[in-house]
Amino acid sequence: MAVRHYTLDFNLSTPVDSASVVPGLLSVFHEQELTETVHDTNGHGYLATFVGKNGRLVILRVHSHGLVTIDLQCHEGDNFAQLDNLLNALEKKLKVLLSGNITRIKRLPALVRGAKVDRYWPTADGRLVEYDIDEVVYEEDSPYQNIKILHSRQYGNILVLDGDVNLAESDLAYTQAITGNGRENYAGKEVLILGGGDGGILAELVKQKPKMITMVIDGCKMHMRRTCGNTLDNLRGDCYQILIQDCVPLLKKYVQEGRTFDYVINDLTAIPISTAPEEDSTWEFLRLILDLSIRVLHPEGKYFTQGNSVNLKEALSLYEEQLGRLSCPVDFCKEVVCVPSYLEQWVFYTAWKK
């Protein structure tokens, strides 16, 4: 059974003595038949827990630096009206007890922990986002990664790979950005797509009638229809082929054969958050894919890829350093795009041979 976690915070202009606050709250806790236990904080303010027969737990903390916090935990099946009344009573009482000393009151919606459907996912820069997810549409452990398709009332189906939000059906801006934002003419061109298992890139590019698109994926057809249409229903079409395999051996094969593409679109992974490439194997993989991709790029071709959150300046800077260390010298440019389901600004890169 899931647990709901409510919080109520009072920021104060000056610290208060717990003796001036706690006695006035006890009547509220006693009305709810909550049993009090006071804990030793070694001089760091006041801490007490209040436990109810129905499993409710309240943590009251009067911090020595001018902050009063209340945490309330309960089971999902608890009486939410009673819980709301309890929080309202505590807030009302504290407003009276702390009158004239309050700089801010913050009461947040409940955090639901252990629910069957996980609604919480971090942004790339470490902020917590609660999505309006109401269903797990699909989940599978492939040979390469864990694949989830979650349904959001606002964003449609969302593709989540290894715990990272990759793309939602609402995110046409992402697909447009990683294909050049309408500035490129793909008609009659040879295109290589690495990743892109949501099918969005393929669906957009086939409209322009390229000569041939080769797409290498660990796919997820059927569940992202608003993104991919019917392009993933068949592994071959008039102007595309889908290969379900590891892209590294294939790229090495293309290098040996001397095969080149007018466009290489790398949608495998974002730039790693870690800024220690010598210790992070993801950076090693990224460098390998980057170098092989540029080697199979036509001399007049372009390489497109995503970067990461605009706030991860160190990681982005480190990636740009890697672009300067390839076996084949390149120039590059970047642009920042708002991707709806990411709830953050995202950087995209374009590179070409010098």
- Using one digit for the tens of pLDDT, what is the confidence trace for 8-35? 999 999 999 999 999 999 999 999 899 9
What's the rounded Cα separation, in Å, for the pair 190 and 239? Answer: 10
pLDDT of residue 227: 80
Residue 134: per-residue pLDDT: 94
Rounded to an integer, what distance in angstroms lies between the CA atom of residue 321 and that of residue 323? 5
Q: Which two tokens stand for residue 228?
A: 């991919």
In contact, 176 and 204? CB cutoff 8 Å = yes
CA 143 to chain centre: 22
All residues at 6 or more sequence positions from 309 whose CB lies less than 8 Å from its CB, including other chains: 123, 124, 125, 342, 344, 345, 346, 347
- E-strand ranges in 53-155 read 57-63, 67-75, 102-113, 120-122, 128-130, 133-141, 146-152
Could you tell me what percent of the chain has a pLDDT over 90?
Answer: 76
Neighbour tally for 232: CB within 10 Å: 24
What mean pLDDT comes out for the span 198-210?
Answer: 93
Structure tokens at 124: 């790339």
Q: What are 165-196's pLDDT values in tens digits?
A: 889 999 999 999 999 999 999 999 999 999 98
How far is residue 190's CA from residue 225's CA, in Å, rounded to a whole number?
Answer: 25
- Three-state DSSP state, 90: helix
Q: What DSSP designation does 1 have? A: -
Question: Of 9, 267, 280, 331, which residue is the catalytic one?
Answer: 267
First to last CA, the chain: 59
Instruction: Give the mean pLDDT of 92-96.
Output: 96
pLDDT tens track for 229-241: 788 888 899 999 9
* Res. 220: pLDDT tops 80: no
Give me 236's structure tokens.
């071959």
DSSP string, 209-249: --SEEEEEE---TTS-HHHHTTTTSSSB-SSEEEEES-HHH
Q: Is the pLDDT of residue 72 over 70?
A: yes
CA–CA dist 145, 140 (Å, integer) = 8
Catalytic residue status for 331: no
| Degrees, nearest 5: CA angle 34-36-40 | 155
pLDDT digit string (tens) for 306-324? 999 999 999 999 999 999 9
At residue 280, the pLDDT reads 64
pLDDT in tens, 324-333: 999 899 999 9
Say what the pLDDT of residue 276 is. 65
Polymer length of the chain: 354
Residue 143's CB is within 10 A of a number of other CB atoms, namely 6
Mean pLDDT of 27-44: 93
Q: How far apart are CA 104 and CA 11, in angstroms?
A: 5
Cβ(334)–Cβ(310) under 8 Å? no
121: left (phi over 0), alpha (psi -120 to 50) or beta: beta
